[in-house]
Amino acid sequence: MMDNKPFEVPVVVELGHVGKYRHIRSAQEAAECLMTVWPLNRGPRHRDALDTCLKVLEGYRSTADARRALIEAAKESEVLVPDDRLPDDRLH
């Protein structure tokens, strides 16, 4: 079974509906999310994040690289949930 390359800290995005948070915990989950449920307002950072996540899964990049790229893509698509918007019980 392939290692899904977990992140040290999940990246939280808001997809679909306001308040519907998704905690992305690994490079594999990030790649799946970027390919399937990401908003249509995609730009170059989306493509970079997907490429980076796939390279992590192949063993060529670090999970830290994938997490950083995912955060940039989430900012670009305006779906990143900053830590200060999360209730304390939803951080992990």
Delimit the domains of the chain by residue range: 4-79
- Please report, for residues 10, 22, 62, the alpha-carbon distance to residue 59 in angstroms, rounded to integers and kept in the order given: 20, 25, 8
Question: Burial of 8 by CB count in 10 Å (0-12 exposed, 13-18 middle, 19+ buried)?
Answer: exposed
41-57 residue pLDDT tens? 899 999 999 999 999 99
State yes or no: pLDDT of 16 exceeds 90.
no
The pLDDT > 70 percentage for the chain reads 90
pLDDT at 88: 59
* Strand ranges (E), 1-92: 6-14, 21-26
DSSP 89: G
pLDDT at 92: 43
Q: Which residue has the tokens 């399937």?
A: 36
